[in-house]
Amino acid sequence: MKNYRLLLPLCLILLTFSLSSCELAGDIFKAGAWTALIGVFLVVVLIGFLIRKMRG
């Protein structure tokens, strides 16, 4: 049990130094942009589908 008390902080320190915050923020924004683009595309397709069904 004592080994885990030392292992967890060491892992957190290693992650802190190995991950660059700017790179992480950039990746999050890229993922958000792609998610938004796909969401807008799906909404446009859904609206087009509904308009076609309503017109017959």
8, part of any domain: no
52, part of any domain: yes
3, part of any domain: no
- Check: pTM over 0.85? Answer yes or no: no
CA distance 1 to 8: 11
Domain count, the chain: 1
36, part of any domain: yes
Return the pLDDT at 26: 80
56, part of any domain: yes
pLDDT digits (tens, 9 = 90+) for 1-52: 566 677 888 877 777 777 666 777 787 788 888 899 999 999 999 999 999 9
Longest C-alpha distance within the chain, in Å?
Answer: 71
Q: Rg of the chain's alpha carbons, rounded to an integer?
A: 23
Return the pLDDT at 31: 84
27, part of any domain: yes
Q: Which residues of 11-28 are buried (b: 16+ CB within 10 A; e: fewer)?
A: eeeeeeeeeeeeeeeeee
Return the pLDDT at 47: 95
- 6 token code pair: 């030392």
28, part of any domain: yes
